[in-house]
Chain A
Amino acid sequence: MSSTTAINRRDFLKLSTSAGIGLVLGFCLPTKKLYGIDSPEAVESFAPNVWLAIDRSGTVTITFSRCEMGQKIWTSLPMIVAEELEADWSKVRIKQGDFNRAAYGSQTTGGSASVRTSYNRLRRAGAVAREMLISAAAQTWKVPVNRCRAENGTVINLDTKQKLKYGELTELAAQQPIPDEVPLKDPKDFKIIGQSLKSLNADLRVNGKAVFGLDFKLPGLLTAVIARCPVIGGKVANFDDSITKTIPGVRHVVEVTNGVAVVADDTWTAIKGRKALKITWDEGPNANLSSEIISETLKNAVEKPGTVLRDDGNVEKAEKESRKKITADFEVPYLDHAPMEPMNCTAYVHENTCEIWAPTQRPSRAHRIGTQVTGLDAKNVIVHILPMGGAFGRRLQYDYVRDAVEVSNLIKAPVKVLRTRDEDIQHGTYRPATYHRVSGSLDKNGYPLSWNHRVSGPGPYPGLITGGADTLAYDIPNIHVDYVMSDISIPTGAWRSVANTQNAFVNECFIDELAVAAGKDPYLYRRKLLEIYPRMVKVLDLVAEKAHWGNQPKGHFQGIAIHPSFHSRAAIVVELNTDKRGGLNIHKVVCAIDCGLAINPDGVKAQLEGGIILALTAALYGAITLKNGRVQQSNFHNYKLLTMRETPLLETYIVDIDEPPTGVGEPPVPPTPPALANAIFAATGKRIRTLPVDIKKLRRYR
């Protein structure tokens, strides 16, 4: 059944079409807070954040305010509009909007939110345009609108079978009133949504024509690199640039917040110039900080009273009454995002204007940095958003934007500041290290009577360490979750799926320990405790079925995990096998997700594959460690990424369900490391409670 939806006129803006622009509509998507917490759909003032234009050739151009970083929203979002618009998909184009708070509202891209927060609005937008085109055709033919139907970029006269292309109708369509209500299609009739369509702009990614931040050019553009204090939080004491300045092509040497910038005609000259600097650093308060100290601090802090996140029943009483109680400590390290394109930003401060070209997930922050550094009025700071060579949360930060704006502000010339890989890894905004103490007690049937989890991590943002701990889905009568924050001044930030990465590891490894303590099958144990959530059960059943849970061949071992995040539910089974040398090999990873309606199923699968690989990389290799305040990793030889050879078979499945779309980019990440750890336990009898997993050690166990 198709439904009718009322239109809030304030959500739409029609632009006049006097000079043959065609039909141009602006419409609003709801704004949202970071990390995926939706604000009410109500939009206070009219501020369209998506523009839809149909020109005389029938080309549909959609301008989006959100950013593309590999998650393929530049395909999935237009698919939603095109579906209701009855557009000819081959004529749909997409454009990146600049930063414009008044016009677009929030432009932050994160929290796996783009599709789920805009699905209904995008449908309505497409439907409004479609109805206006139909009205225009009806007027042309002088027939009632219900004798017309839109299909594949045309309106058809049902009686005469005449057709008018959208391009021929735009002028008249623009003169139609915005309808009070519009019918939305019955999902059964969807022709575009639910199809695995090829990415728009895919060719730019295989012919070298895509312009990422690092590729951006301007006339007279200079390039700079910054010498940064190797100790996190340290500063320049003094520097000598006399040799640097003799290098041909070096234009300026300037001191900025994050160090000393060498500005040159080209990248290599800037790098050479930086090498020739002589700098004395004031190493600051972190000069003696090490991973051992951090680990000790976090471990000691679990003894302190915590800030309560959840307190169901009475855990203390339950633990006393229970026959069986187990306790375990878990620890995970700092992680860097390490997208393949290192941080970079271009800025040009000139004549009371500051222009910024940033590969950014959060243009509003880039804009604020522009105004703060230059002192210019907000309206004189312009932020252009460039495509990103990966982000994973790193580009929600603005340290690298500050670099460019400060340098350009000092030299008043257009400049691109880029980071070499070592800087990028050593001056990150890391996924925080955390330490966890968790205890559970069992009832007489072996099911948990209580669950007690204390998270200990660095401050100052609880959201970066607690997410996913208090939302434990299992049906346990007594649950206590709290956290303690310690003062450790290592910059931190959101990393694909944020604190779900740390807490899903703890939740899903420990529930496995409880299952084993109870002598029960880890899949069925979870299933029983999730019965109150049928959608969780469905995902768990699907992954178990597809992975042939419990029926693996000899020498193969499985581990399972499930975790809900970003309004979706994802489950993983990792299957290990023993290789010829007696070592363990990750043979296969099976993933099932309930993400509601999958707009572009193959795009969803790509995100699942990528999320699993990112998570395996973290579980096997990921650790940022410190010595004397310095990050010890510097490049891909010691901050390793999973390679093709190490990539297991990946199988991904999407639960077929008639519910609105939910998050996709992040949900596969949290359950992957615990499923791996549980599989290792199945194979070796050793519990993995710290990450990264030491695979070499594991081989010795066998």
Chain B
Amino acid sequence: MAKINLTVNDKNYTVDVDPKTPLLWVLRDNLGLTGTKYSCGKALCGACTVHLDGKAVRSCTFPVSAVGSASITTIEGLSSDLKHPLQKAWIQEEVSQCGYCQPGQIMTAAALLANKPNPSDEDIDETMSSVLCRCGTYQRIRRAIHVAAEGGVR
């Protein structure tokens, strides 16, 4: 066990955990931030995606001790009021079915847009094809990312 300091969604926390614990379980079990999802546990699906200093990271295989001083953003911290252009686009395009994969989809897309404000279909496919959705919402995800990139929901 070790005491580890974390900054999550601009708040500081200290947790006392096995340093090898994947960040996912620290977020979910220790900090109660359950918006970040578990699905494969092997970096194969993207459901657990969070941002570390703005970069998309799969928290299910990322040891909490490796976070260091990086600032963590989870889906709960993406916006406090559904104002993120992707959240608005997701609602407009009725992307979610069960919704379980969507935090990971949105966090992955947010990191993409931060890097490439105007992604092509190919850019979107490239980044998003590693985030799985069993309900089959891909076509709408792609559309919503374009909506958000092209000035967003008006």
Contact of B38 among A196, A208, A214 (CB under 8 A): A214
A69 CA / B98 CA spacing, docked (Å): 5
Instruction: Assess A205 versus B40: contact at CB under 8 Å? Given A338-B134, A636-B45.
Output: no
Instruction: Assess A217 versus B36: contact at CB under 8 Å? Given A203-B82, A390-B98, A390-B134.
Output: no
B36 partner residues in chain A, CB cutoff 8 A: 208
Instruction: Assess A612 versus B40: contact at CB under 8 Å? Given A207-B82, A248-B1, A388-B98.
Output: no
Q: Is A647 an interface residue (CB 8 A)?
A: yes
B94 partner residues in chain A, CB cutoff 8 A: 196, 198-199, 202, 602-603, 606
Contact of B139 among A72, A209, A389, A650 (CB under 8 A): A650
Instruction: Assess A212 versus B100: contact at CB under 8 Å? Given A268-B21, A642-B136, A644-B124.
Output: yes
Contact of B29 among A223, A339, A392, A642 (CB under 8 A): A223
A621 CA / B126 CA spacing, docked (Å): 20
Q: Is B65 an interface residue (CB 8 A)?
A: no
B101 partner residues in chain A, CB cutoff 8 A: 340, 389
CB-based contact B100/A340 at 8 Å: yes
Contact of B42 among A391, A613, A635, A645 (CB under 8 A): A635
Interface digits, B117-129 against A, CB 8 Å rule (1 contact, 0 not)? 0000000111011
Q: Is B146 an interface residue (CB 8 A)?
A: no
A108 CA / B94 CA spacing, docked (Å): 26
A387 CA / B34 CA spacing, docked (Å): 14
CB-based contact A217/B100 at 8 Å: no
Instruction: Assess A647 versus B138: contact at CB under 8 Å? Given A266-B29, A268-B29, A341-B39.
Output: yes
Interface secondary structure of B, over-half rule: loop
CB-based contact A206/B90 at 8 Å: yes
CB-based contact B22/A268 at 8 Å: yes
- Residue with the highest number of chain A CB atoms closer than 10 Å, among B79, B94, B129, B142: B94
Q: Smallest CB–CB gap between B119 and chain A, Å?
A: 12
Contact of A266 among B25, B33, B124, B128 (CB under 8 A): B25
CB-based contact A207/B25 at 8 Å: no
Q: Smallest CB–CB gap between B94 and chain A, Å?
A: 6
A284 CA / B38 CA spacing, docked (Å): 32
Instruction: Assess A71 versus B125: contact at CB under 8 Å? Given A609-B137, A613-B138.
Output: no
Instruction: Assess A421 versus B135: contact at CB under 8 Å? Given A340-B98, A390-B100, A606-B94.
Output: no
Band of interface residues on B:
35 or more
A611 CA / B100 CA spacing, docked (Å): 17
A387 CA / B40 CA spacing, docked (Å): 19
A211 CA / B37 CA spacing, docked (Å): 11
B140 partner residues in chain A, CB cutoff 8 A: 606, 609
A649 CA / B133 CA spacing, docked (Å): 16
B106: nearest chain-A partner, CB-CB:
A206
B132 partner residues in chain A, CB cutoff 8 A: 340, 636, 641, 643
Contact of A610 among B22, B39, B124, B136 (CB under 8 A): B136
B26: nearest chain-A partner, CB-CB:
A268
A204 partner residues in chain B, CB cutoff 8 A: 99
A265: nearest chain-B partner, CB-CB:
B29
A217 CA / B100 CA spacing, docked (Å): 17
CB-based contact B133/A340 at 8 Å: yes
B103 partner residues in chain A, CB cutoff 8 A: 206, 208
A214 partner residues in chain B, CB cutoff 8 A: 34, 37-38
CB-based contact A614/B38 at 8 Å: no
CB-based contact A198/B91 at 8 Å: yes
Contact of A644 among B42, B44, B76, B128 (CB under 8 A): B128
A464 CA / B29 CA spacing, docked (Å): 39
A207 CA / B134 CA spacing, docked (Å): 19
B82 partner residues in chain A, CB cutoff 8 A: 203, 206-207
Contact of A206 among B40, B91, B136 (CB under 8 A): B91
B137 partner residues in chain A, CB cutoff 8 A: 606, 609-610
A272 CA / B21 CA spacing, docked (Å): 10
Q: Smallest CB–CB gap between A653 and chain B, Å?
A: 15
Instruction: Assess A205 versus B25: contact at CB under 8 Å? Given A643-B132, A644-B125, A645-B125.
Output: no
B130: nearest chain-A partner, CB-CB:
A643
A645 CA / B121 CA spacing, docked (Å): 9
A266 partner residues in chain B, CB cutoff 8 A: 25, 29-30
Q: Is B150 an interface residue (CB 8 A)?
A: no
Q: Smallest CB–CB gap between B107 and chain A, Å?
A: 9
A342: nearest chain-B partner, CB-CB:
B39
- Per the 8 Å Cβ criterion, residues 451-503 of A in contact with B are none
Q: Is A210 an interface residue (CB 8 A)?
A: yes
Q: Is A637 an interface residue (CB 8 A)?
A: yes
A210 CA / B90 CA spacing, docked (Å): 15
Q: Smallest CB–CB gap between A85 and chain B, Å?
A: 23
Q: Is B35 an interface residue (CB 8 A)?
A: yes
A649 CA / B121 CA spacing, docked (Å): 12
A221: nearest chain-B partner, CB-CB:
B29
A248 partner residues in chain B, CB cutoff 8 A: 1
Q: Is B116 an interface residue (CB 8 A)?
A: no
- Per the 8 Å Cβ criterion, residues 513-546 of A in contact with B are none
- Per the 8 Å Cβ criterion, residues 635-660 of A in contact with B are 635-637, 641-647, 649-650
B44: nearest chain-A partner, CB-CB:
A636
Interface digits, B39-67 against A, CB 8 Å rule (1 contact, 0 not)? 11110110100000000000000000000
Q: Is A186 an interface residue (CB 8 A)?
A: no
A340 CA / B17 CA spacing, docked (Å): 27
CB-based contact B129/A644 at 8 Å: yes
B139 partner residues in chain A, CB cutoff 8 A: 609, 647, 649-650
A214 CA / B90 CA spacing, docked (Å): 23
Contact of B87 among A207, A389, A392 (CB under 8 A): A207
A635 partner residues in chain B, CB cutoff 8 A: 40-42, 44
A650 partner residues in chain B, CB cutoff 8 A: 139
Instruction: Assess A205 versus B102: contact at CB under 8 Å? Given A268-B21, A611-B136, A635-B44.
Output: yes
B98 partner residues in chain A, CB cutoff 8 A: 69-70, 339-341, 387-391
Q: Smallest CB–CB gap between A112 and chain B, Å?
A: 15
B99: nearest chain-A partner, CB-CB:
A205
CB-based contact A421/B29 at 8 Å: no
A206 partner residues in chain B, CB cutoff 8 A: 75, 82, 86-87, 90-91, 95-96, 99, 102-103, 106
Q: Is A17 an interface residue (CB 8 A)?
A: no
Q: Is B97 an interface residue (CB 8 A)?
A: yes
B129 partner residues in chain A, CB cutoff 8 A: 643-646
Q: Is A176 an interface residue (CB 8 A)?
A: no
A268 CA / B25 CA spacing, docked (Å): 6
A175 partner residues in chain B, CB cutoff 8 A: none
Q: Is A189 an interface residue (CB 8 A)?
A: no
- Residue with the highest number of chain A CB atoms closer than 10 Å, among B32, B33, B39: B39
A649 partner residues in chain B, CB cutoff 8 A: 139
A449 CA / B146 CA spacing, docked (Å): 53
A sample of 15 inter-chain contacts (CB < 8 A) reads A72-B97, A208-B34, A212-B37, A214-B37, A266-B25, A266-B30, A268-B25, A387-B99, A388-B98, A389-B37, A610-B137, A611-B136, A635-B40, A635-B44, A644-B125
Name B's A-contacting residues (CB within 8 A).
1, 17-18, 21-22, 25, 28-30, 32-42, 44-45, 47, 74-76, 78-79, 82, 86-87, 90-92, 94-103, 106, 124-126, 128-142
Taking A339-B134, A340-B100, A341-B98 as known contacts, 14 extra A-B pairs with beta carbons closer than 8 A to each other, sorted by chain A number, are A72-B97, A196-B94, A198-B92, A199-B94, A202-B96, A207-B78, A208-B34, A212-B37, A215-B28, A248-B1, A340-B45, A635-B44, A644-B124, A645-B129
